Amino acid sequence: MLRLRFLLLLSVVTGMPALLRAQNDKQVLGEPVITPAELLEGTSILYLIRFQNTGQDTAQDIVIRDTLDPKLDPETFVTLSTSHDFQLLGEGGSFIRWYFQDILLPDSASGGGNSIGYVLFSVSPRPFLAPGQTILNHACISFDQSAVICTNDAVVLIDDEADTEEPDMASGDLQIVPNPNYGQFEVRTLDEQESASGNRDARWWITDMNGKTVWNGITDDLAAVNNRVMLERPSPGLYLLWVRTKESIQVERFSVIH
C-alpha cells in the first residue's frame, strides 16, 4: 500500500549548480513524513528521479544508479514507471541500476522538453525505525559513460505526529487517448462499473516533467473526466496526468508531439 501525502515535495539541496538541481534531481512525491504506525502497516515511499541531457549532443546510453539507504527494504522495491524503455541491472541488495540503452536523448538546447526523462519507483522503509530518524537517498546519472551528475538527497522524516489518513496509490484504470497527442485528448475510465456508479469527487491536474502544473480541474463525478482536454500551446515532451479521489491517487503518462 502506498500511503502518500501529496501536497508537499521535499528535497535537500547538496551544493550543485542551480541548473543541475532543477534538471537532474530526486523528489519524494507526497509529504515526506511517516509515522511509526505507518511503518508497521508497510507504507511505501514514492520517489521521482528526473534527468536531462544538458550536454552538447544526443546521449546514446544513460545509466541511473541508486544505492538505497540502509533504512529502506530492498525487497519491497518496485519500478512503477519510466519515460523510456530500460533494463534493470542489479547487483543484489540495495544497489539499483536503470540502464537506458540507445535512448537517443537529445540535448536540452535542441530537444527542449524531449531532453528530459524520469524514473518513478516505490520502496518501503524498514518497520522498526524510531521517531526523529531520517532516510536520505540520492541517485547518480551517467551520460554515455562520461558526464556523471548526482542529484540532491531526498529526505524522509519519521515523526509521531503526522496525519495518517491518506489515499492509496491505485493501479491505473484511466486511459489517455490518443497517446502521443498534440495536446488534445480524452481521458477514459477503463472500469465501466466505476464509471456507472459516479458520485466520486475528484481533483485532477496535469504537470510537465519540471513539476509545473499546466492544467487542473475539480469534478463532482470521476466519470466526468471522460471529457476532451485541450492544452493551450503545450511544448512537445512528456507530461503526467494526476487524478486524486478520497480513495486513491492515479498517475498516467503521456507525450505531446509537434
Structural domain contains residue 2: no
> Which pLDDT value is given to residue 218?
61
> Which pLDDT value is given to residue 167?
47
> Which pLDDT value is given to residue 66?
94
Identify whether residues 153 and 213 lie together within a single domain.
no
**pLDDT of 96 strictly over 70:** yes
**pLDDT of 54 strictly over 90:** no
pLDDT band at 248 (very low <50, low <70, confident <90, very high): low
State the CB neighbour count (10 A cutoff) for residue 209: 22
Range of the structural domain that residue 216 is part of: 170-256
Identify whether residues 69 and 112 lie together within a single domain.
yes
Identify whether residues 228 and 101 lie together within a single domain.
no
* Contact predicate 93/215, CB 8 Å: no
pLDDT band at 199 (very low <50, low <70, confident <90, very high): very low
pLDDT band at 243 (very low <50, low <70, confident <90, very high): confident
Identify whether residues 113 and 235 lie together within a single domain.
no
* Contact predicate 124/42, CB 8 Å: yes
Domain count, the chain: 2
Lowest mean pLDDT among 10-19, 118-127, 231-240: 10-19
CA distances (Å), origin 22, targets 27, 140, 149, 167, 221: 11, 15, 12, 28, 36
Identify whether residues 125 and 184 lie together within a single domain.
no
Identify whether residues 246 and 193 lie together within a single domain.
yes
Q: Nearest CA to 169 among 54, 43, 77? A: 43
Identify whether residues 24 and 146 lie together within a single domain.
yes
Identify whether residues 140 and 229 lie together within a single domain.
no
Task: For the full predicted model, state whether its pTM sits above 0.75.
Answer: no
Structural domain contains residue 164: no
Lowest mean pLDDT among 55-64, 73-82, 106-115, 239-248: 239-248
Instruction: Report the CATH number at residue 248.
Output: 2.60.40.3080
Identify whether residues 43 and 114 lie together within a single domain.
yes
Structural domain contains residue 205: yes
Identify whether residues 211 and 250 lie together within a single domain.
yes
